[in-house]
Amino acid sequence: MVLFGPSLYGPLRHVSQFHKHAAGAELNFTVGLGRLGLRCGLITRVGRDEFGQYILACMRAEGIDTALVREEETHPTGVYFKEYRGLGDPRVYYYRRGSAASSMSPEDIDPECLNGARLIHLTGITPALSATCRETCLALLRLAEGLGIAVSFDPNIRLGTLHDVETARDSMMPFISRSHLLLLNEFECELLFGSSELAAIMDEVFDAGPRIVAVKMGSRGSLAAARSDRVIHFAEPFKTPRYVDPVGAGDGFDAGFVYGYLNNLPIDGCMRAGNLVGALATTVTGDYEGYPFLRDVAGAVASGGSEIRR
């Protein structure tokens, strides 16, 4: 999606200038992993319009494989606007109903597309876009299962887009149950499992399917546990020289955590890499621009995170 960030704080009615960024949970995640040196691709659709070209350009700039991105003639590329409020986190205004991404369908999935892949990442956003999107995600899951590819899942539930808790839970469970890694925040813990405390819900989570669960707690760091030993680990937040806005931090955490997982870091290393990427996201106005490049944080992430606390 294309994100338009405001030039001023406060209600958008008063804002006259907006700055264009590329953004969106899945794109963010891919950029985060790509910057850390992993080869990634994205399966999605963009409009055959200037904003679609912009998204493709941003992906190519980051070295992301665009072979599976389809240009859609009759649906536009989705856009959204960010608003900085005096109360709570930024609010976002979406224009993605009927967007190209929402028109994705199972036929977009080439059976070869996961050949050689080690992990697929899904969020709860895509299946919620449309019925065909949901089918596409489920088809991907089945394909991954068949190939023995690991799955990471982030429910990515936004308060503003949530209509009904029961429905949300029901629609998420098929994805959660087939995930190896479940990456969520406290609000989602509460919503899906009835408590924001990892200790309280860990057993239920592991019974549902995932082998590893990580809980993102924003400026308070993160918690995680593996089904194998059910020990809860805590990783301190990464300190940054400024805090601009939290959007993109959750996706960045996912990317850092998955980076660690694919590099066989211990769970603490995964968490620290997650905290690092997530924290850096908060130092800029865009979603992913602040994510680190491997050359800048190589020592930190290679060491299982022990060097990244400075």
Considering only 37-45, 104-112, 199-207, 280-288, which stretch makes contact with a second copy by CB under 8 A?
A: 280-288
3-state secondary structure of 163: coil
Query: Is position 236 an interface residue for a second copy (rule: CB under 8 A)?
Result: no
Cβ 100 vs Cβ 56: under 8 Å: no
Per-residue contact flags (x/-) with a second copy for residues 112 to 151, judged by CB under 8 A = ----------------------------------------
What residue type is assigned to position 280 of the chain? L
What residue type is assigned to position 20 of the chain? K
Q: Which is nearer to a second copy, 122 or 297 (CB)?
A: 297
Considering only 93-101, 106-114, 115-123, 132-140, which stretch makes contact with a second copy by CB under 8 A?
A: 93-101
Contact with a second copy (CB under 8 A) among 73, 164, 229, 241: 241
Query: Is position 83 an interface residue for a second copy (rule: CB under 8 A)?
Result: yes
Query: Is position 97 an interface residue for a second copy (rule: CB under 8 A)?
Result: yes
Q: Which is nearer to a second copy, 118 or 239 (CB)?
A: 239
Torsion sign across C-alpha atoms 123, 127, 128, 129: positive
How far apart are the C-alpha atoms of 123 and 251, rounded to whole Å? Answer: 9
3-state secondary structure of 73: coil
Considering only 142-150, 165-173, 188-196, 279-287, which stretch makes contact with a second copy by CB under 8 A?
A: 279-287
Query: How many residues touch a second copy (CB under 8 A)?
Result: 59
What residue type is assigned to position 76 of the chain? P
Query: Residue 123: what are its φ and ψ, rounded to 5°?
Result: -125, 165
How far apart are the C-alpha atoms of 286 and 244, rounded to whole Å? Answer: 9
CA angle (266, 304, 117) in 5-degree steps: 65
Query: Is position 76 an interface residue for a second copy (rule: CB under 8 A)?
Result: yes
Tokens encoding 290: 């602040």
Residues 154, 245, 251, 287: which is the catalytic one?
Answer: 251
- Measure Cα distances from 12 to 8, 83, 219 in Å: 8, 6, 26
Considering only 117-125, 178-186, 211-219, 235-243, which stretch makes contact with a second copy by CB under 8 A?
A: 235-243
Q: Which is nearer to a second copy, 226 or 301 (CB)?
A: 301
Provide the β-strand partners of residue 45: 70
Q: Is 251 a catalytic residue?
A: yes
In the complex, least distance from residue 59 CB atom to a second copy, rounded to whole angstroms: 9
Q: Which is nearer to a second copy, 161 or 171 (CB)?
A: 161
How far apart are the C-alpha atoms of 171 and 310, rounded to whole Å? Answer: 41
In the complex, least distance from residue 102 CB atom to a second copy, rounded to whole angstroms: 11
**Which residues, 152 to 191, sit near a second copy by CB under 8 A?**
none
Query: Is position 290 an interface residue for a second copy (rule: CB under 8 A)?
Result: yes
Q: Which is nearer to a second copy, 100 or 201 (CB)?
A: 100
Neighbours of 58 (CB within 10 A): 18
Give the orientation angle of helix 249-262 with respect to helix 294-302, to 10 degrees: 60
Query: Is position 73 an interface residue for a second copy (rule: CB under 8 A)?
Result: no
Give the orientation angle of helix 267-281 with respect to helix 294-302, to 10 degrees: 150
How far apart are the C-alpha atoms of 169 and 182, rounded to whole Å? Answer: 14
Q: Which residues bind a second copy (CB under 8 A)?
A: 4, 8-21, 49-51, 53-54, 56-58, 60-63, 76, 79, 81, 83-89, 93-95, 97-98, 240-242, 244, 279-280, 283-286, 289-290, 292-293, 296-297, 310
Active centre residues (catalytic)? 251
